[in-house]
Structure formats: structure tokens, C-alpha cells
Amino acid sequence: LLGRLGVAATLAVLVALVAAVNLAGPFVVQLAGRFYARRATSAAGLVAARRIVDDPRATWRSVSALGLAICLAALSCVGGSDQPDPQGSTMATDLGTGALIALVIVSAVAATATGVVQAARVIDQRATYRDLALAGTPLRVLHRARLLEVAVPLLVTLVMGATLPLLIL
């Protein structure tokens, strides 16, 4: 019974941490967008930063799955192979291998989800794109802005996904 309570408490803490990251994620992405807007050296960077700041929740939703995948894979890789018995060492190695396989699969799914969300955002913002194109904005600038609109929050999410396991451990 005590072992089951320990597992339940561990799961509750992990769920609370994931919920806290999902609550703080849009705020952190918005701060990163504001920082990037102040430092933008091109029109594409400024457009991307303004879009991030205008809708940080949608931006967070598009990249949060990858951060969660990195966090979970890092947490599942923890375990020493310096176990005194060979079965424990084999189990730790197998868990690490399974975590890496899961990371590859989840990363592919998260990348696909990010692409789908970005495609939907382009469709949602078609009026803005049309207006910018009619105002004389080169298409190259709009494509670069879309790329930066994903890259900046993705970098923030990767840092958060890599930092959270360190805090937990």
C-alpha cells in the first residue's frame, strides 16, 4: 500500500508540473516574443514577434507537444546502469532505449502537429497575408516571418522542456 501511495504521489507531482508548465508556457512565449520584437533587425522578425505577442496561447499550443516529449523522455532516461545485479542493469538499458524510441516517435508526431497548426494559422490569417502582400510586402518576407513565428517559440519550448527535468531531478 505504501508503494502504491508513493507512485500515486509521484504521478500527482508530475501532473501538477505539466499543468504548471502549460499555464506558464504562453506567458513565457509572450515574454520571448516581446524580447524578440525589441531586438528584431528585419521586417520578417518584427512581423513574427508581433504575431507571437498577439496570440501567445495559439503559439504555445503549436509547440508545446514537443517540449512535453523532451521532458518526458529526459525523465524516463533517468536510471542508473550501475546496478549491482545484471537484471537491473539490463532493465535500465532497456528503459533508456525505450525512452529514445518514444522520443523519436513523439517528436515526429509533434513536428507534424506543429505543421498542421501552422497551416491552420496561415488559413486563419489569410486576410492579413493578403493585405500585407497588397501593401507591397515581398512574399519572401512573409515566408521568413512564418518560419520565425515557429522557430522562436520552439526554441523557448525546447529550453523549458530541457530545464524542467533538471529542476525535477
Tens of pLDDT, residue by residue over 142-166, are 999 988 988 888 888 888 877 877 7
Mean pLDDT, range 66-78, rounded to an integer? 72
pLDDT at 77: 64
HSE at residue 113, side-chain half, CA atoms within 13 A, is 18
The residue type at 4:
R
Q: Is the pLDDT of residue 100 over 70?
A: yes
Q: What percent of the chain has a predicted confidence (pLDDT) above 90? A: 21
pLDDT at 83: 54
Q: Do 91 and 81 contact (CB within 8 A), yes or no?
A: no
Q: Do 156 and 29 contact (CB within 8 A), yes or no?
A: yes
Beta-carbon contacts of 24 under 8 Å, excluding residues fewer than 6 positions away, are none
- What's the whole-model pTM score? 0.74
d(CA 92, CA 76): 10
Angle at 120 between CA 116 and CA 126, to 5 degrees: 145
* Nearest Cα to Cα of residue 154 among 57, 21, 74, 65: 65
